[in-house]
Structure 1
Amino acid sequence: MAETTVLTGYSLNGELLSDQRTTLSDGFYYEPLSEKLQRYITGVSYPATVDNSDSSSETLLKSVEISYDDLRYVHIRHYNFEGNPAEGELICNKAIAQDLTEIFYELYCNEYQLERVLLIDEYDGDDLASMEDNNTSCFNYRPVEGTSSLSKHALGLAIDINPFYNPYITYNKDGSEKVSPANASAYADRTASFPYKIDENDLCYQLFKEHGFTWGGHWNSCKDYQHFQKVVE
């Protein structure tokens, strides 16, 4: 996928909600989603709540467990894999917007490299495509892979960091393992040394832990090395 020069969310939100913006530092801020951005994600990362008559469906609206008002647009800066400053954007739950802004600011100050940070909607909401492109992303209203249970991503409370180098691994009854994305199997061996690996010595891990997030790399039934999530009241 070609590098995005103009961020979609940034262009859609613009200065429409700058009066409701919380800014940590230049380029690091969060704000509500404009109507333009809401329309862009609806039917992709956010469920469609319009019926065939093109009017809002109360049944659909009630079935969605998070509202637009509960979401925040987060704009950040980061260093890409060429070591150059770049812009990035996320949508998350308002409960962790301050956390994410602070974490990404610290990562930027330490020149921590993230290949790209784009809305999952750039990949038509396809989590696998986003992972294969090593895209760091947050909100996506979807179930946990292989289940009918909603992922924490569906509530905007989970984020995946450099997912290609930190894959999601599940274990079969016969002892074999499934690596997602499949072409990232070389990075399933966490005893190996390679760039962009998240482990307990990694700055990214340490910052998320300080902010009260848990890490999928500590799970027993599966390993999700890219994944951080936070429980909020």
Structure 2
Amino acid sequence: MTDKDFYIEEISPELFARMEGKSFAKHCIVPVAELRYLHFLHKNLKGETLEGEMVCNFHIAERVLDIFKKLYECSYPMEKFRLIDEYDADDDKSMADNNGSCFNFRLVAHTNRISKHGLGLAVDINPRYNPYIKTLEDGSIYIVPENGKQYCDRDKEYPYKIVKDDICVRLFEENGFEWGGDWDEEKDYQHFEIPREQIEKWYPDY
């Protein structure tokens, strides 16, 4: 493991060309100068070493890279980290493929609020096996990704499952993130985000 494996870069013109109109939507309010490209290594369930890449907000770049270094050192299994632009910034497609991600300028589902992913201040890991679950007003259950439905029963054991107090949750919490698996009215087991009160210090208009 070297600095060539784990590094942070500003967004190059070449990378921005891949992002423009996709994760960097036309109405994006985050300046390109406030985004960073992360390159890192990670292990999958087979123990294979894979290259990962992600775009995030500069405020969290160093701490996220440090988290991924430690997860790699302890062989914490994470299946895939490709830029969400490879999925045309379609979050559903990315999650269904169990792809981890961070920046993608979009709104929170069923709202007009900018997602914390839209600011590059939230990270999703192994999303297919750690779905978002919410009971809607009509009593139906909203699950994303849809192919994660079989992983909603958190009492069962299955690959890539994120659980309270595992090393992944602990590292993110130690670095100032909240885990969506701790939420009461909904659960987002794949999701780690910077708390709103901190975001408002960086972005008062959020």
Mark the runs of 5 or more structure 2 residues left unpaired by the alignment. none
Alignment pair present for 1:134 and 2:98 = yes
Residue aligning to 2:19: 41
Q: Which amino acid aligns with 1:33?
A: I
Alignment pair present for 1:161 and 2:125 = yes
Q: Which runs of 4+ in 1 moved over 4 A?
A: none
Secondary structure at the residue paired with 1:39? helix
Q: TM-score, normalised by structure 2?
A: 0.91
Residue aligning to 1:144: 108
Q: Which amino acid aligns with 1:122?
A: E
2:81 & 2:177 partners in 1: Cα distance?
19
Q: TM-score, normalised by structure 1?
A: 0.81
2:113 & 2:29 partners in 1: Cα distance?
12
2:63 & 2:34 partners in 1: Cα distance?
15
Q: Which amino acid aligns with 1:30?
A: I
Secondary structure at the residue paired with 1:128? helix
1:93 & 1:147 partners in 2: Cα distance?
22
Q: Which amino acid aligns with 1:27?
A: D
Mark the runs of 5 or more structure 1 residues left unpaired by the alignment. 1-23, 49-62
Q: Which amino acid aligns with 1:109?
A: E
CA offset digits 1:80-132 (Å, max 9, x no partner): 23311010100000000001110000000001111110100010000000000
1:123 & 1:213 partners in 2: Cα distance?
26
Query: How many residues of Structure 1 are paired with residues of Structure 2 in the alignment?
Result: 197
CA offset digits 1:46-79 (Å, max 9, x no partner): 023xxxxxxxxxxxxxx53210000000000001
Q: Could you say which structure has the larger radius of gyration?
A: 1
Identity %: 47
What are the equivalent positions in structure 2 for 1:50-69 lying under 5 Å apart?
64-69=28-33
